[in-house]
Amino acid sequence: MQIIQVDPDSPDISIIQHAATIIRNGGLIAFPTETVYGLGVDGTASDAIRRIYQAKGRPASKPVLVLIDDRIWLDQLTLDISDLAYSLMDSFWPGPLTLTFQAAPQVPIELLGRGTTIGIRHTASPIARALCRYSDRPITAPSANLSGRPDPLTAEEVEKDLGEAVDMILDGGRSSEPKPSTVVDVSKGEPHLIRAGQIPFEEIIEIWETQH
């Protein structure tokens, strides 16, 4: 397992390319996001996604979100996108809002936690966006810790929890925001809060009400 320091605002592209190669080959990368440290694998590869559950001791019923750096990926990951969802994207993406949609048939079932919806975030993190871009695929980003443990804010906390279970940790310093992303289900029309986070749900409801 490697720990490599990287500038969170202007990451060295050679480092990102190396990490992206690990992801494309089925490996696990821990990296800083705009929230806490996440655990990234190829979001299109079932075997790689299963490694997340093994590393974290994650219950199979808990889904795994993915990050994208371009909305073009939504066509491959989702079935239907409502006008509400687009208005929320326009207001809060890129940023710490994860939206859950009905998953497209080709989405790996390992991402869905035995359900039918997929959580997606257009990340604002320069490191995470570069990883998506150079991996050329959506990448996962559940918190890089053992299930039930506090969300990791530093590379050291990731190493303490996961150790050799990950192939590389990108050390971008301490997370500037200890709260996770807000998770909102938009798969059934009206927004439903799944997890409170950085963006207050009240702000999301305000956007919703302007659509009526």
The pTM of this model reads 0.93
Q: Model confidence over 24-78: pLDDT tens digits?
A: 999 999 999 999 999 999 999 999 999 999 999 999 899 999 999 999 999 999 9
Phi, psi (degrees; rounded to nearest 5) at 191: -70, 140
Q: Which CATH superfamily is domain 2-210 in?
A: DHBP synthase (3.90.870.10)
Phi, psi (degrees; rounded to nearest 5) at 64: -120, 125
**Ranges of each domain in the chain:** 2-210
**What pLDDT is attached to residue 20?**
98
Phi, psi (degrees; rounded to nearest 5) at 203: -65, -35
